[in-house]
Structure 1
């Protein structure tokens, strides 16, 4: 392989690696947001039960 081909392959590999990391981060943020919503709803129910 020539140097330019190896460079091109390395750049493509690095881009794919970066994109996969972004996908995992976005997925993780979605899970964190869902957990925060669930916790807020649970807290609201606890307050409602305590007020009765």
Structure 2
């Protein structure tokens, strides 16, 4: 029983880390697009 719970927690933690990476990547892309829009407007 303890082993099953431990494996479930490890899997949940791993999935949380992976989704966090995707979120940060998406945020970085959004910031980059915002910067490019500012550069276009400035020129």
Runs of 4+ in 1 over 2 A off after TM superposition: none
TM-score by length of structure 2 reads 0.93
Q: Which residue of 1 aligns with 2:6?
A: 7
Offset at residue 3 of structure 1 (A) = 0.7
How many correspondences in the alignment?
Answer: 43
CA RMSD, 1 decimal: 0.5
- Structure 1: segments with no counterpart, 5+ residues: 45-52
2 CA distance for matches of 1:28 and 1:6?
A: 33
Offset at residue 41 of structure 1 (A) = 0.9
Instruction: Please tell me whether Structure 1 or Structure 2 has the larger radius of gyration of its CA atoms.
Output: 1
